[in-house]
């Protein structure tokens, strides 16, 4: 049973907030971005109501507008079940086998409700059953709570209906329908789903997650919950819960066994923490006294003499290690599975590099669990998967709002920075130039940096649009921004069409979008490749395809490559050709980046591109 969505209604600053939980590159993790006091914590606390032991006060916790109309606090958890789980539920409800095969469950929701007239929360399941005609073949006995086939108790010719069933069969019988089936399933749902539903865990740093005091192993072996981190240190050492008691009994009178266990626990917990938190070089020393009291100390690898209790280390250390010895360790030892884990600003007290290690570890935990993180740190952002993030803010009515960040938004980074109370424009250059793709951007950045003194460029931030067709989207966002926007396209038909489209719709960009021939006129439909040395591109072409040709310098080299490959029956498809071009540019960038590539060498070998970038910077300074 998996969590697929959550809707929070009438909880504190939240009026109604739907949240979809989806798997992104194998990880079910959602990162909530927002400044303080926008309601990030309220979202997490609302979700935690399913399994919290904390008292909920309607007057304090219910949204004020909802209180005015006497509405309940309601948290709805959408759940996806496997076929065998559905069959188990139907069987537990003691439905006839010939009815079970006909029932179709549309969706299942768990609901937690706190009403104005109750001091306790209601926790129940709502099961949506499709109402089908086959139900008409069954009746429900209200006395025995059983479903029976009509044919088994009624054989007369007159057809049974809702109107005549009580007359023909009896007062205690009703014709079966979807609502009755739903009621029977909901009666057993709570017991049945108890073991398979995803548990909600609101994780908070606590002393119980650190080993600060000595642990009495004689007490610990009887109740492993006396020290959660020690239990997980045993697990990390390959000693499962069932084996702990025996291992402790073995060391009670055997000094060598005690020393051996000390070494095993020390080695494994140290190795585990160093593997994840690579920059923090420490040893975790597990010491077991003769009286079977166990203590844990921390030492730095560079200076092993001072030993510290965990609570004597920095707040950042305590925060990260408590997560590692609990959530991480339980995830790695297959104990933590199918949980909903909520973390409110877990990065607090950590250095930026430590935050990144923490983020990566939480993403790893999300392979097997749903993880929701509230943060206001840019270092918690998963830059590889922007769609993993939601922007949280309050509207003019002080109501918390949530919006998923669109991975197709060309200025997605700006949305992230805005969520965190700043702007990307505060840290990037005052001019932004958009290129068709990454290769265009890479050459521009390299030459601009290499020849910075000669070019004397404006302060520029370059962007790769991942395709000429995406450039208009960037222009749309740049036109109202605080920075000046420019774009460079190829002089092929697609580039010309894009330039015309932008000028037709955004007149102010008429002198800010250039095609290659506007900068360096090659008198044909030139692309980036026509600015690069033919001999180097042909060298890679020959290496790749095992033959060569002499290109015409007055024609597009890309088109010539395509045609010659087609003539030689070596042109597979457009995607393969794009891949070849990307690899060729990587080859050329590698050539440019060699230590022996002096400025004079580069000018000599890449004259067309050097003069192009020189003219482009002059053009930009003149706009």
Q: What is the pLDDT of residues 535-572, one digit of tens each?
A: 999 999 999 999 999 999 999 999 999 999 999 999 98
pLDDT bracket for residue 118 (50, 70, 90):
confident
% the chain with pLDDT above 70:
96
Give the rounded distance of the alpha carbon of 408 from its chain centre: 16
Q: Reduced to 3 states, what is the DSSP secondary structure of residue 603? A: helix
Strands 370-375 and 14-20, by their bridges, are unpaired
Please list, in sequence order, all residues whose beta carbon lies within 8 angstroms of the beta carbon of residue 222, skipping any fewer than 6 positions away.
245
Instruction: State the residue for tokens 């989207």.
Output: 473
What integer is the mean pLDDT of 245-265?
96
On whether the CB atoms of residues 81 and 1 are closer than 8 A, the answer is yes
**pLDDT tens-place string over residues 172-193:** 999 999 999 999 999 999 999 9
**Weakest mean pLDDT among 139-143, 222-226, 475-479, 519-523:** 475-479
Smallest Cα–Cα separation from 332: which of 260, 235, 243, 453? 235
Phi, psi for residue 325 in degrees, rounded to 5: -85, 0
Burial class (CB in 10 A: 0-12, 13-18, 19+), 54: exposed
Q: Check residue 427 and give its pLDDT.
A: 46
pLDDT bracket for residue 359 (50, 70, 90):
very high
Please list, in sequence order, all residues whose beta carbon lies within 8 angstroms of the beta carbon of residue 303, skipping any fewer than 6 positions away.
none
Q: Check residue 306 and give its pLDDT.
A: 79
On whether the CB atoms of residues 110 and 120 are closer than 8 A, the answer is no
Query: What is the rounded CA–CA span in Å between residue 622 and residue 452?
Result: 18
**pLDDT tens-place string over residues 269-324:** 999 999 999 888 899 999 999 999 999 999 988 877 778 788 888 888 888 999 99
**Weakest mean pLDDT among 29-38, 432-441, 559-568, 594-603:** 594-603
What integer is the mean pLDDT of 353-371?
96
Whether the per-residue pLDDT at 15 is higher than 60: the answer is yes
Whether the per-residue pLDDT at 257 is higher than 90: the answer is yes
pLDDT bracket for residue 473 (50, 70, 90):
confident
pLDDT bracket for residue 409 (50, 70, 90):
low
What integer is the mean pLDDT of 366-372?
98
Q: Check residue 386 and give its pLDDT.
A: 86
pTM score, whole prediction: 0.73
Q: Check residue 123 and give its pLDDT.
A: 96
Whether the per-residue pLDDT at 594 is higher than 50: the answer is yes
What integer is the mean pLDDT of 30-50?
95
Smallest Cα–Cα separation from 311: which of 207, 190, 464, 168? 207
Whether the per-residue pLDDT at 354 is higher than 50: the answer is yes
Whether the per-residue pLDDT at 64 is higher than 90: the answer is yes
Smallest Cα–Cα separation from 106: which of 86, 83, 75, 127? 127
Phi, psi for residue 430 in degrees, rounded to 5: -80, -5
Whether the per-residue pLDDT at 481 is higher than 70: the answer is no
| Higher per-residue pLDDT: 23 or 474 | 23
Q: Check residue 353 and give its pLDDT.
A: 86
Whether the per-residue pLDDT at 107 is higher than 90: the answer is yes
Q: Check residue 196 and give its pLDDT.
A: 96
The token pair that represents 86 in the structure block: 């559905």
Q: Check residue 480 and give its pLDDT.
A: 63
Phi, psi for residue 609 in degrees, rounded to 5: -70, -35
Whether the per-residue pLDDT at 104 is higher than 80: the answer is yes
Q: Check residue 412 and give its pLDDT.
A: 62
What integer is the mean pLDDT of 497-520?
93
- DSSP conformation letters of 205-242: --GGGS--S-EEHHHHTT-GGG-HHHHHHHHHTT--HH
What integer is the mean pLDDT of 420-434?
65
Instruction: State the residue for tokens 């199918």.
Output: 338
Q: Check residue 493 and give its pLDDT.
A: 95
On whether the CB atoms of residues 196 and 84 are closer than 8 A, the answer is no
**pLDDT tens-place string over residues 212-229:** 889 999 999 999 999 999
DSSP letter at 176 equals: -
What integer is the mean pLDDT of 402-409?
81
What integer is the mean pLDDT of 97-115?
94
What integer is the mean pLDDT of 32-47?
94
% the chain with pLDDT above 90:
72
Whether the per-residue pLDDT at 144 is higher than 60: the answer is yes
On whether the CB atoms of residues 419 and 33 are closer than 8 A, the answer is yes
Across the chain, mean pLDDT equals 91
Whether the per-residue pLDDT at 462 is higher than 90: the answer is no
Q: What is the dihedral of CA 533, 539, 540, 541, to 10 degrees?
A: 100
Cα–Cα separations (whole angstroms), residue 456 to 487, 516, 600, 613: 19, 21, 18, 12
Q: Number of C-alpha atoms within 13 angstroms, CB side, residue 542? A: 11
């Amino acid at each position: 049973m998996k969590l697929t969505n959550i809707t929070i209604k009438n909880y504190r600053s939240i009026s109604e907030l739907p949240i979809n939980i989806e798997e992104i590159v194998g990880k079910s993790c959602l990162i909530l971005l927002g400044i303080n006091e926008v309601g990030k914590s309220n979202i997490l606390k609302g979700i935690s109501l399913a399994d919290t032991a904390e008292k909920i006060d309607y007057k304090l916790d219910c949204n004020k507008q909802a209180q005015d109309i006497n509405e309940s606090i309601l948290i709805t958890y959408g759940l996806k079940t496997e076929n065998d789980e559905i069959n188990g539920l139907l069987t537990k409800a003691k439905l006839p086998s010939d009815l079970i095969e006909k029932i179709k469950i549309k969706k299942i929701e768990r609901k937690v409700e706190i009403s104005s007239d109750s001091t306790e929360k209601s926790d129940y399941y709502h099961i949506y059953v499709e109402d089908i005609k086959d139900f008409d073949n069954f009746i429900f006995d209200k006395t025995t709570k059983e479903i029976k086939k009509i044919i088994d108790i009624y054989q007369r010719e007159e057809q049974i209906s809702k109107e005549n069933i009580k007359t023909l069969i009896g007062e205690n019988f009703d014709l079966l329908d979807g609502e009755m089936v739903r009621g029977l399933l909901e009666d057993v749902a709570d017991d049945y789903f108890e073991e398979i539903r995803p548990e909600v865990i609101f994780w908070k740093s606590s002393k119980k997650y650190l080993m600060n005091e000595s642990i009495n192993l004689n007490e610990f072996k009887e109740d492993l919950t006396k020290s959660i981190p020690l239990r997980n240190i045993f697990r990390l050492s390959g000693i499962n819960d069932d084996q702990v008691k025996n291992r402790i009994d073995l060391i009670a009178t055997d000094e060598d066994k005690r020393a051996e266990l000390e070494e095993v626990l020390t080695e494994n917990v140290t190795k585990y923490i160093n593997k994840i938190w690579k920059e923090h070089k420490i040893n975790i020393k597990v010491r077991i006294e003769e009286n079977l009291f166990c203590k844990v100390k921390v030492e730095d690898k560079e200076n092993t003499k001072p030993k510290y209790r965990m609570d004597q280390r920095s707040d950042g250390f305590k925060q990260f290690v408590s997560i590692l010895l609990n959530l991480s360790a339980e995830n790695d030892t297959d104990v933590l599975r199918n949980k909903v884990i909520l973390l409110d600003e877990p990065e607090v007290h950590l250095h930026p590099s430590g935050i990144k290690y923490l983020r990566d570890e939480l993403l790893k935990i999300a392979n097997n669990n749903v993880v929701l993180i509230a943060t206001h740190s840019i270092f918690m952002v998963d830059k590889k998967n922007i769609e993993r993030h939601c922007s949280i803010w309050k509207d003019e009515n002080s109501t918390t709002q949530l919006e998923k960040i669109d991975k197709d938004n060309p200025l997605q980074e700006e949305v992230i920075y805005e969520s965190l109370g700043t702007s990307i424009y505060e840290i990037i250059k005052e001019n932004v130039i958009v290129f068709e793709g990454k290769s265009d951007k890479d050459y521009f950045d390299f030459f601009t940096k290499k020849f910075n003194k000669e070019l004397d460029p404006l302060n520029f931030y370059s962007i790769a649009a991942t395709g000429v067709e995406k450039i208009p989207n960037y222009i749309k966002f740049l036109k109202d921004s605080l920075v000046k926007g420019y774009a460079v396209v190829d002089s092929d038909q697609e580039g010309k069409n894009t330039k015309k489209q932008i000028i037709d719709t955004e007149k102010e960009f008429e002198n800010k979008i250039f095609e290659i021939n506007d900068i360096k006129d090659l008198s044909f439909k030139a692309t980036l490749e026509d600015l690069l040395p033919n001999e180097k591109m042909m060298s890679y072409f020959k290496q790749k395809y095992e033959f060569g040709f002499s290109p015409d310098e007055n024609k597009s080299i890309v088109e010539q490559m395509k045609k010659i490959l087609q003539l030689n029956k070596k042109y597979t498809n457009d995607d393969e050709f794009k891949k070849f071009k990307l690899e060729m540019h990587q080859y050329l960038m590698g050539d440019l980046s060699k230590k022996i590539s002096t400025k004079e060498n580069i000018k000599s070998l890449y004259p067309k591109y050097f003069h192009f970038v020189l003219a482009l910077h002059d053009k930009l300074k003149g706009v």
